[in-house]
Amino acid sequence: MKEKAIISRTSIYGLMNKFLAECQNKTDEDIVEMVLNDQNYFLGLIDRYENKLLRYILRISSFSYEEAEDTLQEVFINAYRNLNNFDHKLKFSSWIYRIAHNQVISSWRKKQARPQNITWEDVNEGLLKNLIADLDLEKEIDSEYLKESIQKVFDGMDNKYREVLVLKFLEEKNYNEISDILKKPMGTVATLINRAKKQFQKEVEKHNIKF
């Protein structure tokens, strides 16, 4: 019995690797078409996006790691269920980030709480320095001080402003992608980012943070 179980698991892993390998050199949109013909190829999209989306969920919410994982599970379930409705005029990455955005909002409402903290695990220091440089605050800054200071600033910001900064500077999304994710016109996105920068600077002054 034990030997059969091992063989079964080996066969499953072999099939998984086969589907993942076939997705490697494909675009997201190519994989979507493959999934519509064979649901097993959805593994390729999960493999490509699970770490990115988990990090995004943690950054824009106050969820614990376990809550974020549960939210991510719902994101993939919703994405799979609605794959037939995917608009091919959009980038798949924008579409699935939009689903993640909506799922986080849904979970916030259930908890009746707004996000208070942001996770800085795996945040690239270069991305943080890009944010500081864009705000004309760039100097030589200790890495830990930089993360702690930006976390303090982000914790005091309105969520709508914090999220656009997360998308632009930490997720490295362009204005088109942010527009698709938030379902807001490009002009509105530009206004939100401009106001977010101003609020960021106010929080810097409020906490007397020296960059």
Q: How confident is the model at residue 141 (pLDDT cuts 50, 70, 90)?
A: low
Instruction: List, for residues 161-190, the tens digit of each pLDDT value.
Output: 989 999 998 888 999 999 999 999 999 999
Q: How far apart are CA 92 and CA 23, in angstroms?
A: 15
* Sequence ranges of the domains in the chain: 122-211
Instruction: List, for residues 72-96, the tens digit of each pLDDT value.
Output: 999 999 999 999 999 888 899 999 9
Q: What percent of the chain has pLDDT over 70?
A: 75
Instruction: List, for residues 101-119, the tens digit of each pLDDT value.
Output: 999 988 777 665 444 455 5
Q: Is the pLDDT of residue 192 over 60?
A: yes
Instruction: List, for residues 22-40, the tens digit of each pLDDT value.
Output: 999 999 999 999 999 999 9
Topology of domain 122-211 in CATH is Arc Repressor Mutant, subunit A (1.10.10)
| Region 178-207 average pLDDT | 91
User: Can you give the pLDDT at residue 93?
Assistant: 96
Q: Is the pLDDT of residue 121 over 90?
A: no
User: Can you give the pLDDT at residue 124?
Assistant: 56
User: Can you give the pLDDT at residue 178?
Assistant: 95
